[in-house]
Amino acid sequence: MNKYLKIDPWCIIEEGFDSKRHQSSESIFSIGNGLIGQRANFEEDYSGKSLQGTYVAGVYYPDKTKVGWWKNGYPEYFAKVLNATNFIGIRIFVNGDALDLAKCKVLSFQRVLNMKLGVLSRNFVVEMPSGKQVEVTTSRFLSMAVPETGAIHYSLSPVNADVEIKFVPYLDGNVINEDANWDEVFWDQVTHEINGKEGYIVSRTKKTEFEIACGMFIKAFLDGKEILQNPMNVARAGYVEAAFKVKVAKKSRLAVYKHVAVLSSLYHDRKVILDHTKQVLKKSGETGFEKLLMAHVAKWATIWEHSDIVIEGDDEAQQGIRFNIFHLNQTYRGDDPRLNIGPKGFTGEKYGGSTYWDTEAFCIPFFLCTAPASVTRNLLLYRYKHLGKAIENGRKLGFTGGAALYPMVTINGEECHNEWEITFEEIHRNGAIAFAIYNYVRHTGDHNYLIEYGLEVLIAISRFWSQRVNWSDEKKQYVMLGVTGPNEYENNVNNNWYTNTLASWTLQYTIETIELVKHVDPSKYKGLIKKIRFKEREESSCWKDIIAKMYYPYLESEGIFLQQEGYMDKEQMTTEQLDPAQRPLNQKWSWDRILRSCFIKQADVLQGIYLFEEKYDTETILRNFDFYETRTVHESSLSPCIHVVLAARLGKMELAHRLYLRTSRLDIDDYNNEVSEGLHITSMAGTYLAIIEGFAGKRVREGRLVLNPQIPASWKTFAFKILFRDSQLKVDISKKKVVITNESAISVEVNVYNNDYAVASRSTVEIKRNKNNMGYELNK
């Protein structure tokens, strides 16, 4: 853990500059708008350690892997979202000396990420080698209102002497990825031009041939008066700059405005992409920084109106949840089904910016509650559009008849993860995709999705499960061998309880969905079975047999579901017996030692109980929770939130709150000592789940919204809005009451503490809390 940021409900604030923390701050203070993302690199040159990062959604390179690609079934490449043109650069020279915080004496420094406004700013005073002191103030944003644009305001004021300042705004497309497997340069430079205060670069990715066009337009003012001089222009392949020299008196202020436009061939024909970039940049310059900022701030106000969670009494908790909500919304816009949410988003190179099962398991529940249904629908359509590739992937591994195995990691539908224990064995990802369809339909009521797209995906996944199990003559049951569950501190295990459970559930849900589609739209169903050559009687009969005879490991002595066969052969210890100096295990222990230990990286059995909670009584949940929580080290960012939901469900509110702080402040406080590599974007959705499904007890049952609110002891109140079907509800929870306001035009039925309430349009229902309804009424 590394706590160095101030607590503030709306801002992330760094006071003082420490070069050892700089790469961590570059991650934490990252900004984006769903199409463009950027680490919080400095505008001016910095010669210290830094991970440069500017990323454009959907633009990737297939980086050839170093291991395994010569073996059958192994991916040949790892898809990487690329570090693209650096468009923020503004070199500064004071009387000829370069402004560089790694070399200058930093007298004061503050960096602020204002999450309410979506603006990154800095204020610092430096002393140059000559003794001249300069105050610098910067602010920048990537527009949520005009997503292909961004703007920078960079101002300088001499503190103790008159100086000559040379400022050099530039675009640099000659960038690299630090994680390149073979030290390749991923970009070819297409064209460049510079004309006074306006410059452009067009770059093209090798192999995939995406084009990125980037433009800049500069305006500068001295004490409010525009500087009209023509700059000195420099241009070469992949690089343009415009250099200005200005004499600035002591206490005067030089202000530089840099407007940028970034367009990709994902949305623009390559023949006209440069012309379009010029048009976008021209309009941005005419609009001006202040008006662009106002539109950007207004867009963020709308986003916060729907997705904010307000906590009174605990600023640490408040800052944590807003940090997570902020990064989720600036990573994914939801208007393009070709895009998805990478584990690091636009904050670093690790994981390649590709899609994992995190989206279905964690991000979809967030967007269901906070965004129009079309946003989640597009995440599901992303998988539907990749169904052909998933079937091809299954075929490569020996599966037949249209069986689909979705990739563990992908950006275009092809598997690009090359660790065998993950790529071939962590097949529970298929079940997460099936459950996401179910989760979407039960929350939105959009059964048409099942008819148009969902059933086809479910059948392909069920065909995979039916071939992945095999009959055990010894057990007289179906078994699933050689898998890795969500707990990646176990590999190549037999009969992982979670995977077996999810497979059986998928088969059952597919059978139910077949009946629904047959009934609602018989002609559509007939067309589908012809298209995919579905033999309903034969295949459904097989699935029903598997459901009836699936093997689930169980430990009678403890009354718990066993994570997998052989788990109890390990030396049983609890996390309390671990030396804190030995954690995190993945940074202290060998992989061999980890695999032989009983310690659990993230929720595995408990992930299944979380998904299928209604199937189990409270005593069963409690036994499993108490056993597995004491063995879980939470070294996956995806783990604590599931434990929060279950701990709250069991009334363990002190533990739930402690784990909530861990998940919500995982990156802000750098729990795992790795935030310098980038943020844990997809697990941030789990922080939202911790509050909404944990403390508020949100569920959907039989088409109704269910709430069982509880409140941590240190909180006075918490409040949120939730989209459900065609309604928006505002929920306020305090120690004494729950208040639900229906802000929509239709009546909504809500179940609170096992009582039904009809909340009429534009009306409010108040429910008193007492000792009989302070949380869940235990299932018997």
Task: Supply the residues annotated as catalytic.
Answer: 488
Q: How far is CA 374 from CA 360, 427, 440, in A?
A: 15, 27, 11
What length is written for the chain? 780
Phi then psi for residue 683, to 5 deg, are -75, -15
CA angle 51, 52, 54 (to 5 degrees): 135
- What is the Cα–Cα distance from 403 to 466, expressed in whole angstroms? 9
- What is the Cα–Cα distance from 95 to 633, expressed in whole angstroms? 54
Judged by DSSP in three states, 226 sits in: strand
Amino acid symbol at 609: I
Find all residues with CB under 8 Å of 177, minimum gap 6, and list them.
61, 63, 80, 82, 83, 186, 349
Strand partners, 600: 632
Residues 348 and 679 sit within 8 Å (Cβ to Cβ) = yes
Closest by CA position to 33, among listed 283, 307, 372, 261:
261
Within 10 angstroms of residue 130's Cβ, the number of other Cβ atoms is: 12
Closest by CA position to 378, among listed 355, 395, 398, 399:
355
Give all strands of the β-sheet with 36-38 in edge-to-edge order: 31-32, 36-38, 54-56
Residues 28 and 671 sit within 8 Å (Cβ to Cβ) = no
How many CA atoms lie less than 13 Å away from 611 in the CB half-sphere?
Answer: 24
Write out the H or E segment, with its range, that includes residue 653.
helix 653-664
